[in-house]
Structure 1
């Protein structure tokens, strides 16, 4: 591995980390709604839009 490939690995790792965090947030939505939180409360708690929460709740 040469030094020019290190930034590429770092960028891929960062992207995968963001994707993983997003997936974890989306997986938490049904559980938070089941606990009685409103869609708006879930959106604020997870730093998502109301539309994102609504879409995940329908799936």
Structure 2
């Protein structure tokens, strides 16, 4: 997973993680990926590991 988030770590100019210590609505999501982090980071990694079985014909 780490390579997918390279350049988008917490503190980077283009972070894909939520981090707020002042916005009460965002604080529960601290250290969780943003929507872009899920779309560009987690989703491609998971999709590349999933094999959908085809029904026998």
Q: Is the TM value for this pair above 0.5?
A: no
Relative to the length of structure 2, the TM-score reads 0.26
Structure that is richer in helix per residue: 1
Give me the TM-score of the superposition, normalised by structure 1: 0.26
